[in-house]
Amino acid sequence: MTDLAKDLAKDPTQVSENFTQSLYTDEDGSRSLFTRVKDSFKRQELVETEGIDLDTYSMTDYQRTNYLLAKQPYQKNLSQRHLTMIAIGGTLGTGLFIGIGWSLASGPGNLLIGFLLTGLAIFCVVQCAAELSCQYPVSGSFASHVSRFVDPSWGFTVTTNYCLAWSISFPSELIGCAMTIGYWDSSVNPVVWVIIFWLFIMALNLFGVRGFAETEYVLSIFKILAIIIFLIIGVVLICGGGPNSNGYIGTKYWHDPGSFKAPVFKSLCNTFVSAAFSFGGTELVVLTAAESRKVESISRAAKGTFWRVIVFYVSTVVVIGCLVPYTDERLLGGDTSEDIAASPFVIALANTGKFGERVSNFMNAVILIAVLSVCNSCVYAASRVIQSLGASGQLPSICGYVDRKGRPLFGILVVGLFGFLPFIVASNKVSEVFDWLFALCSISSMFIWFSICYSYLRYRWALKKQNRSADEIAYKSMLGIWGAYLGLLLSALLIVGEIYVSLFPLGESPSAEAFFKYCLSIPIMIAVYIGHKSYTGNWKSFVIPLSGIDLDTGLSHSDVEIMKHELEIQRVKLASKPLYYRIFRFWC
């Protein structure tokens, strides 16, 4: 008889207790893996994080909210390499690989101008958001800054729209993953692939911020390499190289059928829709401020936006405009993210004959990687914003749940529930349902960009109003306050342009359906804003007075003089470097 059998015969209850205890402790008495994993899901309290019990009751509600957002128990695991790659390639998705096909149908000239204007706007926006996030690395980042520097109701409107946009994108991108796999094997029910990818993405985010960051790092490298390969092949084809070449192409298609589709202004405004979709999420890197090891890493990573705009968008748009005429009917399929045949990348390379027949497999793999990356970003971004709303008291406190591994569990759960949307709508109505779901947040990206620039300006105005020096700013925007004015203006123009093409669609008659598919978010945002104002009863002012803006709570540096001294040391050290290195550090 074995020892276990003998023990069972003597005292079955004691054996059961010993077995249970063995799950929680190792032989040396330390906690077992099971125990550590179980305990990691317990809520991390702020007192444990700080090590002291700070009396927040002496603060005003406004100050207490700022304090709580600055002290959320996230783990600071993001390094410079993570942030740099997230900034450059983190949100290169279907908007670039497929969505620009719809805008190219408006003419390559309009497409280039539209992307240049939108790219300049987003560069200004990210610089503004980066300065604020380096100064105040709080939960929710720029979404929380709007509440702090503008108005809580305005901030709530921005935050809920941003959260909704990412949450709705999640199920749509899951469907995109399933449809992309279906290109290779259509015998498997797409629902199976949706479940597999849902489990994969949720598991990644349960590994914490490190799981998200490492995945984005790898996927971004693949996406960047794919674009570089395409640009090289594209240049070769334009110059007349490649199989089945018909000779030098150059700017042939810019002259015939032309660069601009009539009516020019309306066609230009039409490109704003896909440009905003393509650039949407560029601000994601700034959202990581509360989980970055060094806040200055955010400033450096934000500079990568410039290179992303120039290399990965503008260069791609120019090459595609040279390889595909805007009259190609296949481009008009670009309004659906699952149809890779509508991708200008595929169309450009498919025109090369047998070589083009093989490229669809390559582009399909790239699109799958891009969609997976966006799915990962959806869960990360939406869960952090939900957590910030819970921490600030604008949603129930359970929404602010952060466990001992720094995971906003309730936020991840809520976004995960959105991933089940594909299962509850009729299969033949999926596209129509998601069209209207996206209409809920269609114009919100531009509204968020506008709000970021405005909150930045309010911060700078408050410094001046309270007789504070700009020398207190740890890491300043490359473009300064004038960049914020430019970003504000461009964001407003993009909003007006999208409203214009919604009222008067290109090639269609005006209709209520066409308008609300692009602008349904406008009445939704107005309703949310009024509802929050009514609930809080804060109708006395529509913006926080500049003299009343809190400029001290949650600062990334505790001593201004020490911060100035450290920055001066960095400047002296940089000045001693060669010219090429100083230029590199200015832009990177």
Domain at 46-74+82-535, CATH homologous superfamily:
Amino acid/polyamine transporter I (1.20.1740.10)
Q: Are 399 and 35 in contact (CB under 8 A)?
A: no
What's the pLDDT score for residue 425?
58
Q: What value does the mean pLDDT take over residues 158-165?
A: 89
- Quote the CA–CA distance of 562 and 295 in Å, as a whole number: 16
Mean pLDDT of 517-538: 88
Q: Convert the pLDDT of each residue in 382-393 to its tens digit.
A: 999 999 999 888
pLDDT on residue 335 = 46
pLDDT at 559 over 60: yes
485: confidence class by pLDDT, cuts 50, 70, 90: very high
State the pLDDT at residue 132: 92
Other beta carbons within 10 Å of 480: 14
The pLDDT value given to residue 289: 84
- Taking alpha carbons only, the member of 195, 213, 192 closest to residue 204 is 213
Percent of the chain at pLDDT > 70 equals 84
pLDDT recorded at residue 90:
61
Q: How confident is the model at residue 414 (pLDDT cuts 50, 70, 90)?
A: very high
Q: What is the reported pLDDT for 54?
A: 52
Provide the mean pLDDT of the chain: 80
* Range in 8-17, 144-153, 374-383 the model is least confident about: 8-17
pLDDT confidence of 94, banded at 50, 70, 90? low
Looking at residue 24, its pLDDT comes to: 43
Helices (H) and strands (E) in the chain, counts: 29, 0
Report the DSSP beta bridge partners of residue 512: none
pLDDT of residue 53: 46
- Spatial separation of the C-alpha atoms in residues 490 and 452, rounded to whole Å: 13
Average pLDDT of span 111-136: 90
480: left (phi over 0), alpha (psi -120 to 50) or beta: left
Show the tokens assigned to 268.
């230009």
Locate 426 and state its tokens: 């009729």
Tell me the range of 2-11, 235-244, 384-393, 416-425 where mean pLDDT is highest.
Answer: 384-393
For the chain, domain boundaries = 3-31, 46-74+82-535, 557-588
